[in-house]
């Protein structure tokens, strides 16, 4: 599934709103600099001849609260770049902290998409922890070279939130921080390279992760589009639209300012607590001298109605309004409701520079600080937090002052120092303009990025990684044979050997799996004992578990677990069933996380009582009876048949290309429906009711010989 005519790269940016043009940065806390970086990286890569195809993999959103653009399944951005939207967790917009339960669905549907395309990417690049989780799962399955960019890190966020007085319980509830940190640890482990913006990010942020390996890191700072962010004093031919943008900005600011002839202190950020917007307003509000010299303009995201925003954003914006009122900043402070990222933001920097203003990043910590580079390219000096990436940026560009933003007085003092000193302002302005290309142009960024990819691909060619050896095979399989073990494969040694040979002769084209009531360890022991063909997939514990073959081992399918665990209440089921003397709980070794097993010592009416009790208690569960002697209680989404249908969906294999065979009641679910069913001649009486049903073949011969008879009946090997 490879094409050697150029690089095929997938960029994973799952949360947030991303489209090919006119990005809605600041729409909410999930739509910020990361979104912009990913799109601009894709566009910059598309200009290189060695790059053939770039896909931005994101979540499909069909929600009346956001643009219909985000519901387009495949958006063509240019002849090389497209945005592929995968639905997971429904169609409504969901904050990134609430996406964690749905990421396995994203993995499943991405695999389905990859198989439909018929080509694996040369490399996958994940952005943020959620995409890191997805990419880790994909590289496990397919051995794909993987690059990860954190953008911000959970352990650092947790530390900051705890230091601000938040409890661990509250943080966990709001941010799912434990799952995020685990995903980041997984990404560090599986990634071939981790891209950091600064050395400080490697040493002080990634350095606290258990799986960190310094050899995996490479510093490639984000870059700025110098065609859009050009110096305020550089004359360019403006079209009519550009004039409209500039006039619109001035009209917006005139709504707030009584004197437009003062320098503008500009801030552009999302309404988040860590951005410390209140600290900037306090710095301005407490300094009368600064108020007399300058105006303050804060563009804090995009809003229509504060009362309709998420709690955290509403709190920040409400606090801004209260501080504006507290310090009586009317006529001196602007907080416009929206700004157009594509066209207005570059002009905002230039308008502020023309007034000899200053850009401020007042965040308590900043992983990088892309807006500082945009300000530099526009010729606008900066005052910034000294924590994080800004230290490297200001160190490279020498275009502003770093301060401890925890004290608002430090911010106001630095602002007065620049605004009151014309020589300093011009030196900082010229430094930013003169140095930004060498350090932060997209040409320089892409050059280093592609060299990194070349190194990763070379390493993988010399020592390929394939964590789950079944993965690439499953992409090629167009058919599968899935069989019960006991009394379907086993029972007659001679016919079992014939079936084994048939399976092994076709193993490159037809995937083989088993579906059994045994748990995975016992299933493997039995298959070893009879020296049968090695299955690529084991569906065990009556369909409550799926395992993929990895060389000599089998890896638990977390995707299936995520699918079936919804509303599973094992403690309550055990409590209810303990009241029935006709059920005997089987030994502990027969119990599994998603299977409770009993011996039946009663009648069918007794079993009906058990079933009715579970229904009456509104517990969703699947009760499976085998040989009229055993009862297995599973999550309501779990069974052999549903597990097989899940695999068919995930790996894009049509139902009529999958043969299943069994002999007892716990096989009934997989024999029904659109799969090609085979009931062997030695079947239990409980399967007799299936006679005459479409796509269920009752073999005359027993055991493995009956399976062979069924395969021949369907002409399964012929096409």
Do residues 601 and 689 both lie within one domain?
no
Angle at 505 between CA 501 and CA 508, to 5 degrees: 140
Residue 619 CB neighbours (<10 A): 16
Give the chain's length.
Answer: 719
Q: Of 97, 149, 95, 102, nearest to 126 (Cα)?
A: 149
714/611 same-domain check: no
Domain boundary among 580, 613, 636: 636
Q: Domain tally for the chain?
A: 4
Query: What CATH number is associated with residue 643?
Result: 3.40.50.1000
337 and 420 share one domain: yes
Indicate whether 493 and 477 sit together in one domain.
Answer: yes
CA 132 and chain centroid, separation: 6
Q: What is residue 314's predicted lDDT score, i.e. its pLDDT?
A: 83
Quick one: how far is CA 414 from the chain centroid?
40
CA–CA distance from 663 to each of 525, 538, 627 (Å)?
20, 17, 10
Residue at 385 is within a domain: yes
| pLDDT tens digits along 232-291 | 988 766 566 667 777 788 888 888 999 988 999 999 988 888 899 999 999 999 999 999
Contact 126, 137 (CB under 8 A): no
Looking at 612, 636, 660, the residue that finishes a domain is: 636
Round the average pLDDT of the chain to a whole number and report it.
Answer: 92
Sheet holding 264-269, edge to edge: 333-334, 295-300, 264-269, 358-361, 382-385, 400-403
691 CB-near residues (< 8 Å, 6+ apart): 698
Residue 302 resides in a domain: yes
Percent of the chain with pLDDT over 90: 74
- List pLDDT tens digits, range 34-90: 898 999 999 999 999 999 999 999 999 999 989 999 999 999 999 999 999 999 999
Q: What is the CATH number of the domain that holds 615?
A: 3.90.1070.10
What is the model's pLDDT at position 79? 97
Tens-digit pLDDT profile for residues 379-435: 999 999 998 889 989 999 999 999 999 999 999 999 999 998 999 999 999 999 999
Q: Which residues pair with 15 in a beta bridge?
A: none
Residue 172 lies in a domain: no
Other CB atoms within a 10 A radius of the CB of residue 1 amount to: 13
pLDDT value, residue 341: 53
**Does a structural domain hold residue 461?**
no
556 and 575 share one domain: no
Indicate whether 16 belongs to any domain.
yes
Q: Are 543 and 586 in the same domain?
A: no
Residues 632, 643, single domain; the answer is no
Task: Mark whether 628 and 670 lie in a shared domain.
Answer: no
The CATH number covering residue 419 comes to 3.40.50.2000
Residues contacting 655, CB < 8 A, separation 6+: 645, 648, 673, 674, 675
Instruction: Answer yes or no: is 619 within a domain.
Output: yes
Q: Is the same domain home to 552 and 678?
A: yes
* 102/35 same-domain check: yes
350 with 485, same domain: the answer is no
224 found inside a domain: no
Q: How confident is the model at residue 97 (pLDDT cuts 50, 70, 90)?
A: very high
Whether 707 and 661 map to the same domain: the answer is: yes
Question: Is 458 a member of any domain?
Answer: no
pLDDT digits 0-9 by tens, 516-532: 999 999 999 999 999 99
Q: Which domain does 557 fall in, by range? A: 468-565+637-719
At 241 the pLDDT is: 66
């Amino acid at each position: 599934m490879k094409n050697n005519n150029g690089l095929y790269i997938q960029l994973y940016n799952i949360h947030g709103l991303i489209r090919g043009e006119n990005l809605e940065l600041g729409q909410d806390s999930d739509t910020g600099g990361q979104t912009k970086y990913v799109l601009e990286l894709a566009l910059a890569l598309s200009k290189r001849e060695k790059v053939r195809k770039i896909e931005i993999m994101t979540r499909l959103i069909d929600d009346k609260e956001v643009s219909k653009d985000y519901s387009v399944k495949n958006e063509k951005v240019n002849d090389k770049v497209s945005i592929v939207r995968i639905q997971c967790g429904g169609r409504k917009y969901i904050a990134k902290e609430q996406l964690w339960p749905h990421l396995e669905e994203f993995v499943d549907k991405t695999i389905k998409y990859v198989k439909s395309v018929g080509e694996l990417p040369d490399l996958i690049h994940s952005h943020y922890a959620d995409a890191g989780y997805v990419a880790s799962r994909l590289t496990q399955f397919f051995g794909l070279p993987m690059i990860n960019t954190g953008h911000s890190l959970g352990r650092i966020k947790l530390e900051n939130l705890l230091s601000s007085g938040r409890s661990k319980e509250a943080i966990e509830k709001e941010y799912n921080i434990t799952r995020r940190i685990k995903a980041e640890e997984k990404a560090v482990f599986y990634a071939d390279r981790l891209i950091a913006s600064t050395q400080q990010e490697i040493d002080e942020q990634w350095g606290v992760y258990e799986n960190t390996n310094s050899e995996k890191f490479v510093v490639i700072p984000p870059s700025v589009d110098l065609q859009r962010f050009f110096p305020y004093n550089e004359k360019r031919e403006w079209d009519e639209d550009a004039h409209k943008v500039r006039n619109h900005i001035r009209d917006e600011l005139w709504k707030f300012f009584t004197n437009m002839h003062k320098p503008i202190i500009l801030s552009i950020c999302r309404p988040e607590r860590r951005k410390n917007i209140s600290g900037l307003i306090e710095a301005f509000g407490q300094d009368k001298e600064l108020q007399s010299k300058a105006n303050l303009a804060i563009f804090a995201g995009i809003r229509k109605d504060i009362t309709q925003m998420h709690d955290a954003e509403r709190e920040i914006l409400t606090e801004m309004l209260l501080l504006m009122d507290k310090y009586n900043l009317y006529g001196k402070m602007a907080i416009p409701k929206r700004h157009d990222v594509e066209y207005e933001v570059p002009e905002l920097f230039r308008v502020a520079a023309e007034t000899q203003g200053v850009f401020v990043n007042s965040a308590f910590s900043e992983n990088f600080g892309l807006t500082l580079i945009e300000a530099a390219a526009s010729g606008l000096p900066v005052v910034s937090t000294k924590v994080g990436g800004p230290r490297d940026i200001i160190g490279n560009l020498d275009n502003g002052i770093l301060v401890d933003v925890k004290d608002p007085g430090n911010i106001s003092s630095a602002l007065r120092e620049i605004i009151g000193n014309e020589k300093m302002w011009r030196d900082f302005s010229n430094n930013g303009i003169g140095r930004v290309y060498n350090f932060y142009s997209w040409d320089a960024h892409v050059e280093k990025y592609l060299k990194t990819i070349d190194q990763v691909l070379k390493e993988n060619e010399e020592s390929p990684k394939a964590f789950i050896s079944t993965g690439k095979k499953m992409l090629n399989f167009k058919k599968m044979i899935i069989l019960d073990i006991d009394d379907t494969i086993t029972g007659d040694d001679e016919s079992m050997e014939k079936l084994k040979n048939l399976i092994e002769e076709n193993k490159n084209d037809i995937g083989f799996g088993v579906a059994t009531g045994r748990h995975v360890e016992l299933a493997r022991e039995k298959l070893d004992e009879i020296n049968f063909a090695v299955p690529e997939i084991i569906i065990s514990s009556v369909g409550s578990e799926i395992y993929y073959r990895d060389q000599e081992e089998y890896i638990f399918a977390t995707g299936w677990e995520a699918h079936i665990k919804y509303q599973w209440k094992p403690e309550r089921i055990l409590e209810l069933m303990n009241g029935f003397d006709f059920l005997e709980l089987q030994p502990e070794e027969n119990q599994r996380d998603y299977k409770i097993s009993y011996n039946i010592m009663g009648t069918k009416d007794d079993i009906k009582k058990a079933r009715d009790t579970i229904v009456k208690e509104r517990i969703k569960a699947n009760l499976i009876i085998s040989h009229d002697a055993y009862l297995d209680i599973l999550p309501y989404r779990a069974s052999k048949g549903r597990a097989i249908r899940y695999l068919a969906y995930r790996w894009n294999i049509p139902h009529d290309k999958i043969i299943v065979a069994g002999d007892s009641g716990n096989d009934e679910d997989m024999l029904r429906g659109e799969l090609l069913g085979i009931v062997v001649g030695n079947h239990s009486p409980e399967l007799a009711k299936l006679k005459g049903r479409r796509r269920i073949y009752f073999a005359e011969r027993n055991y493995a010989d009956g399976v062979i008879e069924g395969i021949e009946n369907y002409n399964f090997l012929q096409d």
